[in-house]
Amino acid sequence: MTLTQQRKQELISSYQVHETDTGSSDVQIAMLTERINRLSEHLRANQKDHSSRRGLLKLIGQRKRLLAYVQKEDRERYQALISRLGIRG
């Protein structure tokens, strides 16, 4: 379920705002989205895994709060981010 170090580096380099950025909202949202997608896939195969389902809901809530922050701060960056990640159809 966890992200490998190599995948984290790919996400950071893809979504970073500046050269030394490792924890901006964009990067955090991208990592959360990756974890949410992996957990969703896990739950399709293991429907009775309720503890993982609870963890998934917590991750979704955290991503929702970060997206609300980005939307409040910079609407254009928010639109670009959700279209890039393919969320909120």
Residues 1, 35 contacting (CB under 8 angstroms): yes
Residues 39, 51 contacting (CB under 8 angstroms): no
Q: How is residue 38 written in tokens?
A: 């992996």
Structure-token match 């955290």, residue found: 62
Average pLDDT over residues 58-65: 97
Residues 78, 70 contacting (CB under 8 angstroms): yes
The rounded mean pLDDT for the chain is 94
How far apart are alpha carbons 49 and 40 in whole angstroms? 11
Kindly state whether residue 66 falls inside one of the protein's structural domains: yes
CATH number, domain of 42, equals 1.10.287.10
**pTM for the full model?**
0.92
**Which pLDDT band, with edges at 50, 70 and 90, does 26 fall under?**
very high
| Residue range(s) defining the domain that contains residue 57 | 25-85
